[in-house]
Amino acid sequence: MTWWRRRRERDREDEMDWFGFGFRDFDIFDDIFEKMMRDFDEIFRKATSGEIKPIVRGFSIRIGPDGKPEIREFGTKDMVSQGVEERKPLVDVMETDDEVQIIAEMPGVNKEDIDVSASEKSVEIKAEGENRKYYEVVDLPCEVIPESAKARYNNGVLEVVFKKKYPKKEDRKKIKIE
């Protein structure tokens, strides 16, 4: 029994019930807290002994061209069947009238470790450094010309720019001024 339970049991005999319910109702909260502390101790022990690897998870939210929010996940994903731990890079896709730009954050790898391949509708990003592995297939918002791709990697950020296959052409009309 922990010190706070012993003290609580001893002091409970002298406490008054001010709110119309017994103090044993707080046992539920105490049991939950105690389980959380045991779980935290176990996770901390495993992390410091190297039994488990760090987990990185997150998401990004942005408003898409249609005005609806787009939620994208990034971080570690455990490839149990292959025994490989890979991360999904944080990826953002931006579209202009004649280009599509993909930005992927992949710290911890070198330029030589990155492999990017593309089709007209998607881009596959792979990277395998000494300590980190990344993998993601990004669906593009429109068809692009894969041969037009220009890529650069600097400070953990990969940028790939494609020309659109069918760029938007604006039809302009003359406006009569009255």
Which CATH number is 142's domain given? 2.60.40.790
28, 49, 70: which is the final residue of a domain?
Answer: 49
What percentage of the chain carries pLDDT values higher than 70? 71
Q: What is the CA radius of gyration of the chain?
A: 27
Tokens coding 14: 């002298």
| Same domain? 81 vs 150 | yes
Assign residue 120 a region (left: φ > 0; alpha: ψ between -120 and 50; beta: otherwise). alpha
C-alpha distances in angstroms, 173 versus 96, 168, 170, 176? Answer: 22, 16, 10, 9
Residue-number span of the structural domain to which 150 is assigned? 57-164
pTM summary value: 0.55
How many CB atoms neighbour CB 70 within 10 A? 13
Q: What is the pLDDT along the chain (178 residues), one digit of tens a residue?
A: 555 555 555 555 545 555 555 555 566 667 777 888 888 788 778 777 767 666 666 777 777 777 787 777 766 654 433 444 678 888 999 988 899 999 999 988 999 999 999 999 999 999 988 878 899 999 999 999 999 999 999 999 999 999 998 877 766 777 788 7
Is 70 in contact with 61 (CB distance < 8 Å)? Answer: yes
| Same domain? 124 vs 144 | yes
Q: How far apart are alpha carbons 61 and 74 in whole angstroms?
A: 11
| Same domain? 99 vs 21 | no
| Same domain? 156 vs 116 | yes
**What's residue 78's pLDDT?**
47
Q: Is residue 176 part of a domain?
A: no
3-state SS, residue 172? coil
**What's residue 157's pLDDT?**
94
| Same domain? 84 vs 136 | yes
Q: Is residue 156 part of a domain?
A: yes
